Amino acid sequence: MKTVITPSALRSFAYLNDRVLSGKPRGLVLDFMGLGGMTMYGEDSPRGEKFGREGVLYCVPYLDPWNWMNPMAVRETDEIRAAIEEMFGPLPTVSSGGSMGGLCCLVYARYAAVTPDAAAANCPVCDLPYHYTERPDLPRTLYAAYGQSDEDTLEEALRKSSPLHLAQRGEMPAIPYTIFHCTADRAVNKEMHSDRFVEALRTRMPVDYVAVPDRGHCDLGDMWEDYDRAILCTFA
């Protein structure tokens, strides 16, 4: 199939902060939205401006809001990234996101055409088969993302895009990982997701794991600075 996401078409498929970038870019952050995320930015976002001041490109792919980093989402992100590379050349890249976007950044690290240099996740979904049962709003979204396979059952398809299962099978790439998870998260259970994922990952590689006390889902509060600092360390 001919490439659709060219540099001239990029803004129809992703937000990019290049208009507020200070100097030549020294890195790229891919930041994936959570479940239901449908924002298209008409102007630069606060985080776009923040990373721009640091000389870092900040990109938010406009993926299907129920994508769960299925194969189409991987392909679309690869095209977005290739368009940015055509514009600016190859760049060190951090895959990041929160909630479903946290899962996306981890699964993308596994399946990307070019492996990112690091991954940073905020309250990520890590056990995708378990998450199917965790809340009543989830089965329809996961079926929409993974119910079309002619080769796999739904359970098998979910396991292929479940960070916990990828880590247990030794399939996660050997890159630096930073995981933040809020202890009062009621949407994505910390013990069932990040605790187990980090335990599986640490059997093969180091990972920085930060428990954010007394905060709800993806609400890092004052610790947003620590999270962003961990991302920026990749480009030091």
Go through the domains of the chain in sequence order and give each one's CATH number: 7-235 (3.40.50.1820)
Measure the CA–CA gap between 186 and 232, rounded to whole angstroms: 29
End-to-end CA, the chain: 37
Query: How confident is the model over 223-231, as a mean pLDDT?
Result: 98
Model pLDDT for residues 144-189, shown as the tens digit of each residue: 999 988 889 999 999 999 999 999 999 999 999 999 999 999 999 9
Whole-prediction pTM value?
0.97
Query: How confident is the model over 93-110, as a mean pLDDT?
Result: 98
Query: How confident is the model over 78-105, as a mean pLDDT?
Result: 98
Model pLDDT for residues 19-68, shown as the tens digit of each residue: 999 999 999 999 999 999 999 999 999 999 999 999 999 999 999 999 99
Judged against a pLDDT cut of 90, whether residue 111 lies above it is answered with: yes
Judged against a pLDDT cut of 90, whether residue 106 lies above it is answered with: yes
Query: How confident is the model over 123-142, as a mean pLDDT?
Result: 98
Report the b/e string of 156-174 with b at 16+ CB within 10 A. Answer: ebbbbbbbbbbbbeeebee
